[in-house]
Amino acid sequence: MSLVLGIESTCDETAASVVQDGTRVLSNVIASQVQLHQVYKGVVPEIASRAHIENILPVLDSALSQAGTTLDQIDAVAVAQRPGLIGSLLIGVTAAKTLAWSLQKPLIGVDHVQAHLYSVRLSAHDRSPREQCPLPAIGLVCSGGHTALYHVRDWTDIVRIGQTIDDAVGEAYDKVAAILNLPYPGGPVIDRLAEQGNPEAIQFPRSYLERTSLDFSFSGLKTSVLYHVRGHPGREKPSNSLTHQQVCDVCASFQQACVDVLMNKIRRALERYPSRSVVIGGGVSANRGLRAQTQSLPVPVYFPEWVYCTDNAAMIAGLGQILMDRGFISDLSMDAMTSGSIPAMTD
Ligand code: KG4
Ligand code: ZN
Q: Which residue ranges form the domains of the chain, and what is each CATH number?
A: 3-130+307-325 (3.30.420.40), 137-304 (3.30.420.40)
Give backbone dihedrals phi and psi of 203, rounded to 5 degrees, phi first.
-90, 80
The predicted-structure confidence for 253-274, as pLDDT tens digits, reads as follows 999 999 999 999 999 999 999 9
Which residue, by CA, sits nearest to atom 14 of ligand 1?
187
pLDDT at 9 over 80: yes
Q: What is d(CA 265, CA 164) in angstroms, rounded to the nearest whole number?
A: 11
**Residue 173 beta carbon below 6 angstroms from any ligand 1 atom:** yes
Mean pLDDT of the chain: 94
Distance between Cα 53 and ligand 1 center (Å) = 23
Q: Report, in this order, helix, strand and coil percent for the chain, each rounded to 5.
A: 45, 20, 35
Q: What is d(CA 69, CA 46) in angstroms, rounded to the nearest whole number?
A: 33
**Residue 174 beta carbon below 6 angstroms from any ligand 1 atom:** yes
pLDDT at 299 over 70: yes
Q: What is the mean pLDDT of residues 94-111?
A: 97
Distance between Cα 236 and ligand 2 center (Å) = 35
Residues 6+ apart with CB under 8 A from 183: 38, 177, 189
Residue 45 pLDDT: 86
Residue 182 identity (one-letter amino acid): L
- Residue 109: band (very low, low, confident or very high) from pLDDT cuts 50, 70, 90: very high
Distance between Cα 310 and ligand 1 center (Å) = 6
Q: What is d(CA 126, CA 26) in angstroms, rounded to the nearest whole number?
A: 9
Q: What is d(CA 285, CA 258) in angstroms, rounded to the nearest whole number?
A: 12
Angle (nearest 5°) at CA 75 between 74 and 76: 100
**Residue 111 beta carbon below 6 angstroms from any ligand 1 atom:** no
**Residue 283 beta carbon below 6 angstroms from any ligand 1 atom:** yes
CB 164 within 8 A of CB 218: yes
Q: What is the mean pLDDT of residues 316-327?
A: 97
The predicted-structure confidence for 155-206, as pLDDT tens digits, reads as follows 999 999 999 999 999 999 999 999 999 998 999 999 999 999 999 999 999 9
pLDDT at 101 over 90: yes
pTM of the model: 0.94
Residue 174 pLDDT: 95
Q: What percent of the chain has pLDDT over 70?
A: 97
**Residue 11 beta carbon below 6 angstroms from any ligand 1 atom:** yes
- Residue 341: band (very low, low, confident or very high) from pLDDT cuts 50, 70, 90: low
Q: What is the Rg, in whole angstroms, of the alpha carbon atoms belonging to the chain?
A: 20
Residue 194 pLDDT: 98
Q: What is the mean pLDDT of residues 143-148?
A: 94
Give backbone dihedrals phi and psi of 91, rounded to 5 degrees, phi first.
-70, -50
Strand partners, 301: 278
**Residue 188 beta carbon below 6 angstroms from any ligand 1 atom:** yes
Distance between Cα 180 and ligand 1 center (Å) = 17
Residue 33 pLDDT: 79
Residue 236 pLDDT: 84
Q: What is d(CA 139, CA 148) in angstroms, rounded to the nearest whole number?
A: 8
